[in-house]
Amino acid sequence: MAGMISPPAAIAFIGLGKMGVPMAARLIGAGFTLRGWDLAPPARVAASAAGIPLGASAAEACRDAAAVITMLPDGKAVRAALEDPAVVAALTAETLVIDMSSSDPLGTRALHAALAARGIALIDAPVSGGVSRAIDGTLAIMAGGEGAAIDRAEALFAAMGKHIFRCGPPGAGHAMKALNNYVSAAGLVAAIEAVAVGARFGLDAATMVDVLNASTGRNNATEVKLKQHILSGGFGSGFSIGLMAKDLATAGALAEAIGVEAPLAAEMARRWRAAAADLGAAADHTAIARLILPQA
């Protein structure tokens, strides 16, 4: 297998949404030669305005690239992009494919096997931290795949993330991301429900948050979501309720597929699916508070 991918190597970045653009910009800032692509014309316009060089097509972006990074809505979109005949023709045995999307881990295992049959290495490396940490390059990156393949991506990951975790074999990164978001989503709902109960009893919501953050109830929601995005009424964390519902469905489906009873995960998947239907998939995920807190 080829060695570490270092600047100024050519990198294709497929998927230029809210997360993709700042992640691509970090790679450019680190000295990589980047070509981006997105199926959506408005995304391409926005990416170009942000200084991201674009290929004329996904295949053109991938041609001669040392690595192809995908940052797409789900594993089905990733597979569709990588199975496009023109993209297939552009990939070689020297190309490292890195799926940084939040994909289904079992689907990732199948895609890994399909690419391996063509001599192409795939690692899954989803991220956590949101847009703000994508901008400043401090994302948490959860990598799954063969160690030698992950070794090749170290400089790429270092440009985009602060905490890089080797989670295990193919699909392990995607499993970890889904389970992380399950814990995050459950903690957010618990925190909002606690505030709803306390407010009805007569407690001040802001004081409750302060107490939680000084006590054992502290979690990501109490620290960076309740005051900043919910009590403020801003609902602008940058991560949609539809994507959270998708990740919760992935976590629940994984538990079921491998025979682990996880009733809370199933309930969270149901609840977030219903919230996405009520509020619209594009709503910020913190807007679930509107269904729990009357004043939100």
Tens-digit pLDDT profile for residues 147-204: 999 999 999 999 999 999 999 999 999 999 999 999 999 999 999 999 999 999 999 9
The residue type found at 267 is: E
pTM of the model: 0.93
**Which pLDDT does position 295 carry in this prediction?**
73
Looking at residue 288, what DSSP letter applies?
G
The domain 176-291 is classified under which CATH number: 1.10.1740.110, 1.10.1040.10, 2.40.50.840, 1.10.472.10? Answer: 1.10.1040.10
**Which pLDDT does position 1 carry in this prediction?**
57
pLDDT tens digit at each of 296 positions of the chain? 578 999 999 999 999 999 999 999 999 999 999 999 999 999 999 999 999 999 999 999 999 999 999 999 999 999 999 999 999 999 999 999 999 999 999 999 999 999 999 999 999 999 999 899 999 999 999 999 999 999 999 999 999 999 999 999 999 999 999 999 999 999 999 999 999 999 999 999 999 999 999 999 999 999 999 999 999 999 999 899 999 999 999 999 999 999 999 999 999 999 999 999 999 999 999 999 999 997 76
Kindly state the tokens that stand for 201.
Answer: 């009893």
**Which pLDDT does position 2 carry in this prediction?**
76
Kindly state the tokens that stand for 24.
Answer: 């691509």
**Which pLDDT does position 294 carry in this prediction?**
76
Tens-digit pLDDT profile for residues 126-135: 999 989 999 9
Give me the catalytic one of 177, 225, 227, 246.
177
10-170 fold: Rossmann fold (3.40.50)
Q: Which of 82, 70, 57 is nearest to 11 (CA)?
A: 70
Q: How far apart are CA 14 and CA 108, in angstroms?
A: 17
- Contact between 225 and 232 under an 8 Å Cβ cutoff? The reply is no
Asked if residue 126 has a cis previous peptide bond (ω within 30° of 0), the answer is no
- Residues 6 or more apart whose CB falls under 8 angstroms from that of 160 comprise 23, 26, 27, 127, 134, 137, 139, 141
Structural domain boundaries of the chain?
Answer: 10-170, 176-291
Residue 106 phi/psi, 5° resolution? -70, -35
Percent composition of the chain: helix, strand, coil (DSSP 3-state, to 5): 55, 15, 30
Kindly state the tokens that stand for 77.
Answer: 């979109």
Is 76 assigned a catalytic role?
Answer: no
